Amino acid sequence: MQALIQKTAKALVQARNAVALTGAGASIESGIPPFRGPGGLWERMDPMEVAHIDAFRRDPEKVWRLLIQGMQEVLTAASPNAGHRGLAQLEQWGYLQAVITQNVDGLHQAAGSRDVIEFHGSFAWQRCLDCDRRCETHRVDLSRIPPRCSCGGIYRPDCIFFGELIPPQLLERSHQLMARCDVLLVVGTSATVQPAAMMPLLAKETGARVIEINPEPTPLTGRISDFFLQGGAGAVMDDILASVAAMRASTV
């Protein structure tokens, strides 16, 4: 493992355009449950009943009560972990260009990452189903379910539900990053939901080194990933950071 950490640190220090792709696993150590695997949300609920846009339009109150309200509470209580902080530090040192995240929790920005592409949107904002007005979640009256816009329309989190498209500008920016990327860190994603799961393949086609951090193998492991760093995001990022810091110190 230590050899893989060293190789990862070296790849990052030498990279010109390193990018990270993160998923729910990156926020597990912040107390936010994942979607799949042990303790995952989809073990307890059917995503087609609570996370599909048609289900929301059919019965917004049900989706707010079953899924959104609870998620909102967990996200509000969460703070960044060592994995988020490590990625922010890599960006600050100039070794990481951007983070593409499937997470809606805002924890990369809270940790200090500046260039974050929120591929699946964000729970920090609500959008009205009727007039399309956006409003910051902390300004919305959440004591009334479903919460309503001043026009009377129902608010929904400004995230991507199943059955919705990724906004074209986010997709385009992500494709551009993959087309130039020389190292892709894939942190805490099961790599099963498209089109995010395509990003490592696009990076690989560009010739990037794909480095995966996850306690469990994924469909990328051993096929697309060049290195598989098996472990939790926080501990593995701490080790990578220590190794990068040592390389920086030895070149000064």
Please identify every residue annotated as catalytic: 120
Q: How far is the CB of 189 from ligand OAD (least distance, A)?
A: 3
Q: Of residues 51, 71, 183, 237, which one binds ligand OAD by CB under 6 A?
A: 51
Placement of tokens 């026009």 in the chain: 151
Q: Is 148 helix (H, G, I), strand (E, B) or coil?
A: strand
Site string for ligand OAD, 169-208 (x = CB under 6 A): -------------------xxx-xx---------------
112 is a site residue for ligand OAD (CB under 6 A): no
Burial of 174 (C-beta count, 10 Å sphere; 0-12/13-18/19+): buried
Q: How far apart are CA 180 and CA 198, in angstroms?
A: 15
Structure tokens at 186: 């894939």
Task: Tell which one of 24, 32, 68, 183 touches ligand OAD (CB under 6 A).
Answer: 24
Nearer to ligand OAD, 95 or 161 (CB): 161
Q: Interaction with ligand OAD in 133-172: which residues (CB under 6 A)?
A: 160, 162
Minimal distance in Å, beta carbon 249 to ligand OAD?
A: 27
Segment interacting with ligand OAD (CB under 6 A) among 8-16, 36-44, 69-77, 124-132: 36-44
Distances in Å between the Cα of 29 and the Cα atoms of 54, 67, 83, 186, 188 are 32, 20, 8, 16, 11
CA 12 vs CA 57, 67, 84, 138: distances in Å: 44, 38, 16, 37
Residue 32 or 178: the one with the smaller Cβ distance to ligand OAD is 32
Please tell me whether residue 29 binds ligand OAD under the rule CB under 6 A.
yes
Other beta carbons within 10 Å of 129: 18
CA geometry: angle 111, 112, 114, nearest 5 deg: 130
Find the binder of ligand OAD among 8, 9, 19, 23 (CB under 6 A): 23
Binding residues vs ligand OAD (CB under 6 A): 23-26, 28-29, 34-37, 40, 47, 51, 102, 120, 160, 162, 188-190, 192-193, 214-216, 218, 232-233
